[in-house]
Structure 1
Amino acid sequence: MPTTIIPATESSGFFPWFRDFLKKELSPFPGRATTVARMVLAATITMLIIMTFRIPGGALGAMYAFFVSRDNMRATLTSGLAIAVSYIAGATFILTGASLFADQQFAQFLWFSASMFVVFFALSTFADYAVATGFAAIVVNAMLLWQRQDFAHVQVDATLWQLLAVAIGTSVTVAIEIVFHAFHKKDELTEGIDGRLHLVQQLLESYRRQAAVPDEIQRKLEQYTIVGVGALRRGLARSNYERLYHDQTAAVISLSGRLVDLSAASIRVPHQAQEEDKVLLENLENQIAQIRTDLQAKQAPRMVPAPPGTPSGFPLLAEIQRTILLIPEVFSGAKSIDRYIPSIKDEPRSSQFFVRDAFSNPLHIRYAVQGCLAATLCYFTYFVLDWRGLGTSVVTCVFTALSNAGTSRQKQVLRITGAIAGGVLFGIGSQVFILPNIDSITAFSLLFAAVTGVAAWFATSSQRLSYFGVQIANAFYLVNLQEFSIQTSLVIARDRVLGILLGLIAMWLVFDGLGTARATDQMAEAFINSLMSIARLTIRLEQGNQQTIVQDLRALREEINSHFQMVNSQSDAILFEFGIRRKQGMAMRALVRSWQPSLRVLVMMEAALIQHRLLGSEHIFSQNVRGAWGRFDDACAQRFLGMANHLEGKDVSEAEPLSISLKSMERALLTEHGVSDDRSIGLGIVDLAHEVATLVDELFSTIVNTRIPSFSHVRRVANRAASKS
């Protein structure tokens, strides 16, 4: 019978929840103090160079200590190079535009609006987000310089000085990371996964010994639950792994996050270990130890034979066991892939500068028009009022505008609170109480490092709070690092904070007023689309040009990954949704986050089966095998379409049971003459197909027996929002 999911409520009230939220977000975790120290050191050294040589644009230069990736050495160098490309492109764009439009007042207005359109279009369509962000930052800040009435050579000098400040900040940060990684050679991506698995291993050991779970383990599990795996995903995105290993690692990251969530939840559920549970717990400890060893060695994790029976004393142990055993399954068929289709496995990273649908998807144009309208509204307001100090409103528009209102609202809240903390509390507060009492660069450096340390500690929180830390640093630097002497007037700090408020108001009017879909709607839409895309992945492959088939599969795989990324980003944004539908959104978020890891594993297992089929269509398998195999894949596709239809509120049509087509496929494979010479190939494919069928049936049963009416509602809302564009 269908079950209705009722989301948990926060009955303790806002302030107890907020206190607990801050406690979990700000608690130390492995590597946090080291990362903060590197950020503080990079920003402080940049500040000293800028102040010593009196380089204008110091605030933006110091901010790049927060922008450069620190996930690993390769990521740092790649990020530094991408940022260098971005600010060179931005400066070239500004100087070219200035040579054409800077000498005419009305042309300047058109130039500004057109530049803002280009900036927001770049944020939406550039394939490398670091390049897009760097390009936007340099263009927006330089555009504010060119709105002043001054000689052209003075404005050119100011633009180039700002470019130098950014280059100094990037170079100093990269240099510090090179020195750090020279003495610290660990792969932070692998270490992040290993740390989570080790924590689960320690928890299972406590269960097996029937000992109380140590407070330290509980605290770290809760912390990892709050932090999530967003940092690991960002590190993977910047890595240079081959495509197959990249996708497998993405699935392992998702599963490790799910495992941490389940483990943290299991502590709060009453349980009593039985004797058979102890045997199973010991086996799971050994399985995790084997997975950790193999991942550290960059090998496919091996399966440890499991004892018979199911857990009886732990309500969540069965799900923990299933999640652990899915990790080796992610790598199923990897050895055969080495022999069969290296062209898929070794596919290089996409070298496209723009995303695939940059010039075909009207949503990119919509986003650029909305952002341009908000920024131009701010520019027109402070230009008419002749209040140049409000120029920070334009910067606010650029750094808070995202593709949906939910995430935009999230960054708006964090920006205004961060601006108040950095600009008013630390910025104006230091000007009133501290700076009048110091007279040396050493004392100022200590103050600068202390505020940067606070900002960096917040910036290393999860996505729910990290932007707050970035805004503390940004506001403080704007107040105290733009000039080379202590400010004796509070007018500058006041104007900059008011400019941030103006930008937030403009963004709220434009993005909310134009009816952008909520994060809840977009998350549900992306999840349903991922189910439909996976259904297309499992359809029968017809004979034809193999190269064309491979290219189509690559495109479809990228489409599926983009849906997964959209689900992850929008699920984070739901935390900052407001209104009467937030309760439904949180319930949907919990469900989708529990289903997503299984989908990732299924994609990897289907990819392995597809590669067997691509080889077999020409070398091994007969028409009889291909036909039976195709019927099995069709049945799987019907299951995925059934899940999507159920979530859309449609009737789920009857489909052939997977067991029937699976038995037909098994008989055809194991009796096929071409396979009998190497029976291990057929057995391996059959085992993999059995795993796929089991996982598909479990997910289908879970989703179809879950009744959430709001899924069909958000699907209709998202469709209407998309049709307006």
Structure 2
Amino acid sequence: MATADVHSSGLRRFSRFLVDENRAQPGRANVMLRCVFACAIVITISMTLQVPFLALSLLVVFYVTQSNVVMTRLVGVVFVVGVTVAIGSAILVLKLTFDYPLLRILLSAGLFFVSAYLMRVAKIGAAFFIVGIVVIYVQSFVDLTDHAEALIRIVLWVWVAVNYAIAITLLINTLCLPAEPVEQLEDAMLGQLAVTRSALAHLERGERGVVELNARAIQDGTLTLQRLLRFATMRDANYRRRQAFHLARVATVSRLYAAAAHLPESMANIPAGVLHALGGACERFAHAIRTGERFTVPERLTNIVDLGMPGAVEEMREAFLAFASRSAAPDSMETEQEEQRFLVPDAFSNPVYLQFALKTLLAAMVGYLFYLATGWQGIHTIMLSSLIVAQPSLGATSQRGILRIGGAALGSAIALAMVVWVVPRLDGIVGLLLMSLPVIALGAWISAGSERISYAGTQVMFTFGLALLGQFAPTTNLTEIRDRIVGILLGVAISTVVHASIWPEAEGEALRQRVGALLRKLATSLRQQEDAISAPNALWAELADCEAMAARVALEPGWQMGEGQREGFQHHVQTVLAQTREILLAAGAFEAERRSQPNGEGSAQRAAAIWATTVAVSLEGYASNLTGGQQSVHAPAPVFSDDEALLLTDAAKRAYDRLTARATRLMGLVSTLPAWRDHQFFDNGIAT
């Protein structure tokens, strides 16, 4: 019964994961439509003009189509450069070594090794990924024919199939449904301002609780604005020239959005008309974003005599005043940033990069040896898988392998159903499009999701295309479907074993160190009262990086520790990260109340400083023990006295009570950080 309960719980978690990852999100349908439109044109052109490698052309469409025009063009240019270099290198290798198989393999292996190395150290690693893919893929062409001219023709058709698909994709993404990052950024800011304005309106009407904002929503909103600002800066020269202004605008929206999450329960201590004025300021701010006009603060917010307002309300007021001062200042002429280096700083000093390239090469050569020994032409994807699933960490490699297998299985199942029931009834290009486009739309929808599932969508489409779109006539050959899935399974298995057995790049310890560093940064911000604009945004971004690393660590092969040890490690990581998210939100609320305390009430400020220091010491102690590998790590329970409150006036006492409540909430969260038990202290899942 216990086993059945575990399986049932696992299925429920998996179903929730699928539902959450496939929800409709802003811009997702746009990406899907652009993919489908471009793929429809590519299928029509390839079938009409008989351009080979249609599945490869469709794969390029999926890779190049990005969330906005900036990234689409950047990836498109990188792919053109990469495939041109790759085809040139492959032709050069064939010209020099066509009659010398051993020399051909050695030279190709050398190029593959260099490509895998540059994938890790170069700024445009995607270009060298393409070089490695083409170099190893061409080796399977050599076994198809012994005519040099025919072989060169095949290689050149690869260049045509890739580059014309890139041209079509860039044209579609420029003319049809373009997703401009500037517009996306403005829409995102307007959406968060609308939520803030709604929260203020509900509070003014006494309808507290109608607008719910949690720590996850605040984190996602902050990171979305930061990401879109980066893309907008790349796209628009005006954004680059006024980057500081636009950064201040984004940070102001983030401050307002976060403050809306901890508005008070009632209007007590809020001067009359302030909430209405804040709502009006939100409308003015939204108008300034839409039109580009200068933002001005409503007079009601600049002439508030009554002190001791709730911290969230005062935080919103300060955010508007600060931005109004910034927008009134002249634009600074910002200097061009220093050109980025082509390679990472430790490209030649860190042995990890060479080890990664050697592991990837070994996996590819083992797959190629199996391919030659069996003479099984259909499993040539065994070599491609070695490079496709190779990732910087063991968990990321496992994640990519799982997505590749899952996507290939789904794509193969769909292809099998089409071969049995649909293909015999096809009689033209219209029927082919009606059969293919729904599958492409499914793959594009999945591919437009988060990194946890996106590659599976690409694999669904590619496997389906290899099985049914590889010829210029209907096919009923089921062995193609079988061979593709067998090649993928073998390639993923070989690559996973090699990467896990030789110089494994596990991230478990690095994750502990990074979580500890995040807690120390939070402690530092509490001690120093860092700028409210920059510090929270950086902390949210760091938390997101930790969560992404935790997701990869959860997929690392666990044969070096027992299943109970793995579960214990993952449980503690997820608990600490979830608690840290709530601590970040509570710390923001505490700092807002801290800054809103009336001037001159020194006792309240002293108490706030003491409490902030107490929390900081607790966080630093927990982080030190966490990163030091202690057997058991407990956060001390902070205790404080409110004797200072006796010295306050009645008006300040109400503000002080709110500060006390925020401090109590923050300290309670810190004191309940879970005990951490390192996996080395587990034995068969039982703590010793």
TM over 0.5: yes
- Equivalent position of 2:484 in the other structure: 496
Alpha-carbon deviation of 1:83? 2.0
Are 2:347 and 1:364 aligned? no
- Cα distance, 1:258–1:185 mapped onto 2, change above 3 Å: closer
CA distance in 1, matches of 2:445, 2:259: 24
CA distance in 1, matches of 2:245, 2:279: 25
8 Å contact kept, 2:512–2:627: no
- Equivalent position of 1:657 in the other structure: none
388-397 or 42-51, which deviates more: 388-397
CA deviations 1:286-308 (Å, max 9, x no partner) are 56556545555679988885985
Are 2:111 and 1:115 aligned? yes
Are 2:549 and 1:570 aligned? yes
Structure 1: which amino acid aligns with 2:166? Answer: T
CA deviations 1:562-588 (Å, max 9, x no partner) are 978854642453565683122122123
Alignment of 1:479-558 (within 5 A): 479-514=467-502, 516-528=504-516
Alignment of 1:257-272 (within 5 A): none
CA deviations 1:350-374 (Å, max 9, x no partner) are 3433223222222222222222222
8 Å contact kept, 2:259–2:313: no
Structure 2: which amino acid aligns with 1:154? Answer: A
Alignment of 1:428-507 (within 5 A): 428-507=416-495
Alignment of 1:264-413 (within 5 A): 273-276=265-268, 285=279, 289=283, 292-293=286-287, 295-296=289-290, 305=301, 308-309=307-308, 345-348=334-337, 350-413=339-402
CA distance in 2, matches of 1:373, 1:236: 41
8 Å contact kept, 1:535–1:638: yes
CA deviations 1:106-158 (Å, max 9, x no partner) are 22332343233223223212213543444444444334334544322222211
Alpha-carbon deviation of 1:498? 0.7
CA distance in 2, matches of 1:228, 1:512: 36
Structure 2: which amino acid aligns with 1:645? Answer: S
8 Å contact kept, 2:141–2:151: yes
8 Å contact kept, 2:185–2:229: yes
Are 2:82 and 1:86 aligned? yes
CA distance in 1, matches of 2:436, 2:33: 13
Alpha-carbon deviation of 1:486? 1.9
8 Å contact kept, 2:396–2:555: yes
- Equivalent position of 1:418 in the other structure: 407
CA deviations 1:333-384 (Å, max 9, x no partner) are 97899899x6xx5342634332232222222222222222222222222222
Alignment of 1:644-659 (within 5 A): 645=624, 647-649=626-628
Specify which of 49, 53, 69 is matched with residue 53 of structure 1. Answer: 49
CA distance in 2, matches of 1:76, 1:166: 15
Specify which of 90, 94, 99 is matched with residue 95 of structure 2. Answer: 99
379-388 or 506-515, which deviates more: 506-515
- Cα distance, 1:272–1:60 mapped onto 2, change above 3 Å: same
CA distance in 2, matches of 1:348, 1:597: 33
Alpha-carbon deviation of 1:167? 0.7
8 Å contact kept, 2:216–2:581: no
8 Å contact kept, 2:223–2:540: no
Percent of residue pairs bearing the same amino acid type: 22
CA deviations 1:695-720 (Å, max 9, x no partner) are xx99998997574554x95999xxxx
Are 2:408 and 1:427 aligned? no
CA distance in 2, matches of 1:461, 1:262: 28
- Equivalent position of 1:33 in the other structure: 29
Q: Tell me which structure has the larger Cα radius of gyration.
A: 2
- Cα distance, 1:563–1:226 mapped onto 2, change above 3 Å: closer
CA distance in 1, matches of 2:131, 2:665: 43
Alpha-carbon deviation of 1:73? 3.1
CA distance in 1, matches of 2:362, 2:495: 9
8 Å contact kept, 2:43–2:54: yes
8 Å contact kept, 2:439–2:461: yes
- Equivalent position of 1:671 in the other structure: none
- Cα distance, 1:152–1:565 mapped onto 2, change above 3 Å: farther
- Cα distance, 1:128–1:64 mapped onto 2, change above 3 Å: same
CA distance in 2, matches of 1:406, 1:327: 41
Alpha-carbon deviation of 1:402? 1.1
CA deviations 1:33-88 (Å, max 9, x no partner) are 23211110011111111111111222111112211244433333333222211211
Specify which of 123, 129, 132 is matched with residue 127 of structure 1. Answer: 123
- Equivalent position of 1:66 in the other structure: 62
CA distance in 1, matches of 2:680, 2:281: 40
CA distance in 1, matches of 2:541, 2:113: 24
Structure 1: which amino acid aligns with 2:627? Answer: E
CA deviations 1:429-464 (Å, max 9, x no partner) are 211211111110110011111111111111122222
CA distance in 2, matches of 1:484, 1:468: 26
- Cα distance, 1:334–1:211 mapped onto 2, change above 3 Å: closer
> TM-score scaled by structure 2?
0.70
CA distance in 2, matches of 1:518, 1:244: 42
- Cα distance, 1:163–1:561 mapped onto 2, change above 3 Å: farther
- Cα distance, 1:57–1:536 mapped onto 2, change above 3 Å: farther
CA distance in 1, matches of 2:80, 2:66: 16
- Cα distance, 1:584–1:222 mapped onto 2, change above 3 Å: closer
* Unaligned residue ranges in structure 2 (runs of 5+): 526-537, 559-565, 589-615, 635-662, 682-688
- Equivalent position of 1:661 in the other structure: none
Alpha-carbon deviation of 1:506? 1.3
Structure 2: which amino acid aligns with 1:67? Answer: Y
- Equivalent position of 2:570 in the other structure: 582
- Equivalent position of 2:164 in the other structure: 168
Alignment of 1:149-228 (within 5 A): 149-180=145-176, 187-203=183-199, 205-206=201-202, 208-209=204-205
- Equivalent position of 1:20 in the other structure: 16
- Cα distance, 1:205–1:536 mapped onto 2, change above 3 Å: closer
274-283 or 449-458, which deviates more: 274-283
> TM-score scaled by structure 1?
0.67
488-497 or 105-114, which deviates more: 105-114
- Equivalent position of 2:534 in the other structure: none
CA distance in 1, matches of 2:252, 2:402: 28
Structure 2: which amino acid aligns with 1:52? Answer: T
